[in-house]
Amino acid sequence: MTLLVLTNLPDRASAEQLADALVAQRLAACVNILAPCRSVYRWQGAVQHDEEHPMLIKTSAERYAALEAAIRAGHPYELPEIVALPIERGLPAYLEWVAQETGTQP
């Protein structure tokens, strides 16, 4: 199964560094770094307003645990957002490519 994993980084440089590491380690087939957005959230009892760079990470379910560990290790936040959504449908050739690039298909 293919997953779409979401996370946010505080700046473009850290997002690019993490994306490069995930793809180089074959934990992700592709990472999209989106334009900055404004995030509003409660952290440690206070409402925060920060600019963040969302990332869309395509991986296989088999690589998720290693991907999560790599995100946590390379993420500057104490508690990073890491949300995985199953991709139930998609272009078969693309989904096969994700599996190949993450090393889960010969």
In this structure, what CATH number is given to the domain that contains residue 75?
Answer: 3.30.70.120
In a domain, 77, yes or no: yes
What is the pTM assigned to this prediction? 0.94
Beta bridge partners of 103: none
Assigned domain for 106 exists? no
How do strand 2-9 and strand 83-87 relate by DSSP bridges?
Answer: antiparallel
The answer to whether residue 25 sits within a structural domain is: yes
Structural domain for 28, as ranges: 2-101
Q: Considering the domain boundaries, does residue 59 fall inside one?
A: yes
Binned at pLDDT 50, 70 and 90, residue 105 comes out as low
Average pLDDT over residues 30-58: 98
Structural domain total, the chain:
1
CB-based contacts of 38, cutoff 8 Å, min separation 6: 49, 50, 51, 52
Q: What is the pLDDT of residue 106?
A: 55
